[in-house]
Chain A
């Protein structure tokens, strides 16, 4: 099974427990539908997300990555997302600078009540990543026959 055959992107979303994860749960309660491609990893705070997680996700085969947390000012831990903002503003630019398409990495503020925004973001990111096709950059193929580096 070659990765290039399918275009069913894998998208990972690091979501803070207090806002976005709750917002995603609310999307569930509302029965809002979005693509199956988005998978949430629960973290206590977006400030917990180490930029190296993103590199690892691209390395091992994610086609898109999201980092989501509370809106600035709403952090459950009062200041975590301010650091997230600084950290990922730089990281996003650095990734683009290294040739990762901006469509593959998204940082968003989604509150616990913004179920609609979560759904819309999931749809939007999936569409964008699907258009870009499978990610090969920074990708480490586990087996030789799968190697398809550019």
Chain B
């Protein structure tokens, strides 16, 4: 028989005014299994706690019921208290007789009766409590940052600076991401490369950072503190161990193919660095355009390379490493407007650029060395139309959300045009202008003063007339149709999650929102965590944001990673699911319902008659299980149960209420 101690709290007068505490105690004393019952003014106070400890000692109690405020208030307090006693901290039940009784009822007799019932329910549950022990899992003190844009670089640098090893993984041949493509950054107009390339170099040179460029995640197992991640390094065909990055090969390569970095505005060879300041500053061969690799002819680069770095036989290689924490910094892409906006020509007119193409065009290291000219004929435009919200805030054709950065870079683009080509007419078509950031509104004001013409309204159609791009739309403020004969159009298109995010999220069991951005654990309070322990978020993989926000987000994620990696092991809640092997039939219903992929089917050795057999049963990964109990309701047998909330315990509570 259990020896339960019941302790009823007055909470000053909070409880005692409405509940007859003496009666509740007297009634608790009569309950089966109760060895001691008492009351006190403030159970959570030092003397209150001491009283419980003394009673445990004196009456040899093995479990405790405290009738007091909500367990959400003081369950942790009392668990901590029990750590110093012989009673296991999980042999504790709290009857909520304040928030759910004395505060919501007025009739003292009835409230007392209810308190008695609530205590009875807790006692019945407590009688079935069992000692539980928090286990600890060791933490591998290494982090994997997936994505080498500014978010990934910042997170990696912060974690590395805190003294932990980081692998910075990037599927492109260089880190740098989208920020490396930008010309100037709003609102300060400092040169993007000037501020991002030093960070890239820092990351590349940091003793705690290992760069994994041209790499992709292919598989992952394990859980917080202990992720085994299988990574594929795509073949580079250049031995980076000996390559010095002299660049001779690039100059001799006969192939010319579209430059990804310049968004097709220029050509690059088949052996190439992504951009001049690439980190690592060593070329790779694009196997899809290399003549040697596609047709077996050429081999020029191999001939010219003074160090013999070229290795056409290079292959994709997979390797598995263990990490304690993962940071998603997979960034964004621009929506493919050409597929969605046929009325804008669907991509047929070369003088219509996306924002990122314009960034390359206006960039001093870009294809035109920063001269704003039309890609079609190299002429300077006299009239430029900038169209915002292409694909954003357009649930019918694109995305319903606001891409957040476009208002500001549209203003920046206008400013750059007016700065480099004074006298150009710049029209900005907008729905709203949103400038919530330090110095943002001032920048927008300045752009208008510079001469940018803001027209409120969407462009309904863009078509070519001679060498003009005719933009039809409505000025909704004036209620008038407008027509702009533009020489160049810049579409500020929506941000969307990077391709491949679905596979990656699925691999880690991380949830995505309706737009496929990674779902944070809590939109307000846990913005850099996912619901999967040990997987964190940095930057635009969680949703559109600009550079300052991205960097802040990345540093926040790094702080979370560092605080995790600073521990050598981590305590996990013992209130998790357990499987009774002899009852489990291995049907897998629980496996499918688990939101954390914490349940897997495991083959166990069993005997059936004289036969030794292997049969599948559900197995709970204590590192992943969060104790939600969804699996238990899916199990028909009741073979899987939740510690702390066992089926039998809940039924006992039901029964106790019904007495």
List A residues at the B interface (Cβ < 8 Å).
Answer: 10, 12, 14, 17, 21-22, 24-29, 31-34, 36, 39-45, 47-51, 53, 56-57, 60-62, 76-80, 83, 87, 119
Once the chains are docked, how many angstroms separate the CA of A34 from the CA of B103?
10
Let me know if B593 and A83 touch, CB within 8 A.
yes
Let me know if A48 and B632 touch, CB within 8 A.
yes
> Inside 8 A of A78's CB, which chain B residues have their CB?
511, 519, 531, 595
Let me know if A45 and B629 touch, CB within 8 A.
yes
Nearest-neighbor residue (CB-CB) of B653 within chain A: A41
List B residues at the A interface (Cβ < 8 Å).
Answer: 70-72, 96, 98-101, 103-107, 110-111, 113-114, 117-118, 121, 511, 519, 531, 575, 593, 595-596, 626-630, 632-634, 642, 645, 647, 650-651, 653-655, 657-658
Nearest-neighbor residue (CB-CB) of B522 within chain A: A76
Let me know if A47 and B633 touch, CB within 8 A.
yes
> Inside 8 A of A83's CB, which chain B residues have their CB?
593, 630, 633-634
Let me know if A41 and B100 touch, CB within 8 A.
no
> Inside 8 A of A77's CB, which chain B residues have their CB?
531, 595-596, 626, 628, 630
With A28-B99, A49-B633 in contact, is A22–B72 under 8 Å at CB? yes
Chain A CB within 10 Å, residue with most, of B96, B628, B634: B628
With A45-B628, A77-B628 in contact, is A62–B110 under 8 Å at CB? no
With A36-B107, A39-B114, A53-B654 in contact, is A44–B642 under 8 Å at CB? yes
CB proximity of B243 to chain A, nearest CB, Å: 46
Closest 8 CB pairs of A and B: A28-B99, A48-B629, A61-B658, A47-B630, A77-B628, A28-B103, A60-B658, A25-B99
Chain A CB within 10 Å, residue with most, of B107, B511, B632: B632
> Inside 8 A of B101's CB, which chain A residues have their CB?
36
Let me know if B630 and A39 touch, CB within 8 A.
no
The secondary-structure label for the interface of chain A is mixed
Nearest-neighbor residue (CB-CB) of B513 within chain A: A73
A-B contact pairs, 29 of them (CB 8 A): A10-B657, A21-B70, A25-B72, A26-B99, A27-B104, A28-B98, A28-B99, A29-B99, A31-B103, A36-B111, A43-B645, A43-B650, A45-B628, A48-B632, A50-B647, A50-B650, A51-B633, A53-B650, A53-B654, A56-B651, A56-B654, A56-B655, A60-B658, A61-B658, A77-B595, A78-B519, A79-B595, A80-B628, A83-B630
With A27-B104, A36-B105 in contact, is A44–B654 under 8 Å at CB? no
CB proximity of A79 to chain B, nearest CB, Å: 5
Once the chains are docked, how many angstroms separate the CA of A24 from the CA of B118?
15
> Inside 8 A of B630's CB, which chain A residues have their CB?
45, 47-48, 77, 79-80, 83
Nearest-neighbor residue (CB-CB) of B593 within chain A: A83
Once the chains are docked, how many angstroms separate the CA of A62 from the CA of B634?
24
Once the chains are docked, how many angstroms separate the CA of A10 from the CA of B651?
15
A44 interface neighbour in B107, B596, B627, Cβ under 8 Å: B627
Let me know if A12 and B654 touch, CB within 8 A.
yes
Nearest-neighbor residue (CB-CB) of B114 within chain A: A36
Once the chains are docked, how many angstroms separate the CA of A47 from the CA of B100?
22
Let me know if A36 and B657 touch, CB within 8 A.
no
Let me know if A41 and B658 touch, CB within 8 A.
no
The secondary-structure label for the interface of chain B is helix
With A49-B633, A77-B630 in contact, is A57–B658 under 8 Å at CB? yes
> Inside 8 A of A48's CB, which chain B residues have their CB?
628-630, 632-633, 642, 645
With A28-B70, A48-B628, A56-B651 in contact, is A33–B657 under 8 Å at CB? no
Let me know if B103 and A29 touch, CB within 8 A.
yes
> Inside 8 A of B104's CB, which chain A residues have their CB?
27-28, 31-34, 119
> Inside 8 A of B72's CB, which chain A residues have their CB?
17, 21-22, 25
> Inside 8 A of A80's CB, which chain B residues have their CB?
595, 628, 630
With A48-B645, A62-B658, A78-B511 in contact, is A40–B633 under 8 Å at CB? no
Once the chains are docked, how many angstroms separate the CA of A45 from the CA of B113?
28
Nearest-neighbor residue (CB-CB) of A122 within chain B: B104
Once the chains are docked, how many angstroms separate the CA of A97 from the CA of B303?
83
Nearest-neighbor residue (CB-CB) of B102 within chain A: A28
Once the chains are docked, how many angstroms separate the CA of A39 from the CA of B658?
11
Once the chains are docked, how many angstroms separate the CA of A56 from the CA of B652?
10
CB proximity of B454 to chain A, nearest CB, Å: 37
Once the chains are docked, how many angstroms separate the CA of A25 from the CA of B75?
14
Chain B CB within 10 Å, residue with most, of A17, A24, A33, A44: A44
Let me know if B114 and A44 touch, CB within 8 A.
no
Once the chains are docked, how many angstroms separate the CA of A80 from the CA of B596?
11
CB proximity of B625 to chain A, nearest CB, Å: 11
> Inside 8 A of A56's CB, which chain B residues have their CB?
651, 654-655
Once the chains are docked, how many angstroms separate the CA of A14 from the CA of B121?
13
> Inside 8 A of A31's CB, which chain B residues have their CB?
103-104
A53 interface neighbour in B71, B118, B628, B651, Cβ under 8 Å: B651
> Inside 8 A of A42's CB, which chain B residues have their CB?
71, 96
> Inside 8 A of A26's CB, which chain B residues have their CB?
99
> Inside 8 A of B110's CB, which chain A residues have their CB?
36
Once the chains are docked, how many angstroms separate the CA of A44 from the CA of B633?
12
> Inside 8 A of A43's CB, which chain B residues have their CB?
629, 645, 650
Let me know if B103 and A39 touch, CB within 8 A.
no
A sample of 10 more A-B contacts (CB under 8 A), given A27-B104, A34-B104, A50-B650, is: A12-B657, A36-B111, A41-B654, A42-B96, A43-B650, A48-B632, A62-B657, A77-B626, A80-B630, A119-B104
Once the chains are docked, how many angstroms separate the CA of A24 from the CA of B107?
19
Once the chains are docked, how many angstroms separate the CA of A76 from the CA of B575?
16
Nearest-neighbor residue (CB-CB) of A60 within chain B: B658
Let me know if A44 and B629 touch, CB within 8 A.
yes
Let me know if A39 and B118 touch, CB within 8 A.
yes
Nearest-neighbor residue (CB-CB) of A42 within chain B: B71
Let me know if B103 and A60 touch, CB within 8 A.
no
Once the chains are docked, how many angstroms separate the CA of A21 from the CA of B628?
15
Chain B CB within 10 Å, residue with most, of A10, A50, A57: A50
> Inside 8 A of B651's CB, which chain A residues have their CB?
53, 56
> Inside 8 A of B100's CB, which chain A residues have their CB?
24-25, 28, 40
Once the chains are docked, how many angstroms separate the CA of A41 from the CA of B652?
11
> Inside 8 A of B647's CB, which chain A residues have their CB?
50
CB proximity of B650 to chain A, nearest CB, Å: 6
Once the chains are docked, how many angstroms separate the CA of A32 from the CA of B104?
5
CB proximity of A59 to chain B, nearest CB, Å: 9
A60 interface neighbour in B70, B627, B633, B654, Cβ under 8 Å: B654
Nearest-neighbor residue (CB-CB) of B103 within chain A: A28
Let me know if B595 and A39 touch, CB within 8 A.
no
With A33-B105, A77-B630 in contact, is A40–B657 under 8 Å at CB? no
Once the chains are docked, how many angstroms separate the CA of A125 from the CA of B593?
30
Let me know if A41 and B121 touch, CB within 8 A.
yes
Chain B CB within 10 Å, residue with most, of A21, A34, A39, A53: A39
> Inside 8 A of A29's CB, which chain B residues have their CB?
99, 103
> Inside 8 A of A41's CB, which chain B residues have their CB?
121, 650, 653-654, 657
Once the chains are docked, how many angstroms separate the CA of A83 from the CA of B121?
27
> Inside 8 A of A25's CB, which chain B residues have their CB?
70, 72, 96, 99-100
> Inside 8 A of A17's CB, which chain B residues have their CB?
72
Nearest-neighbor residue (CB-CB) of A27 within chain B: B104
A39 interface neighbour in B117, B628, B645, Cβ under 8 Å: B117
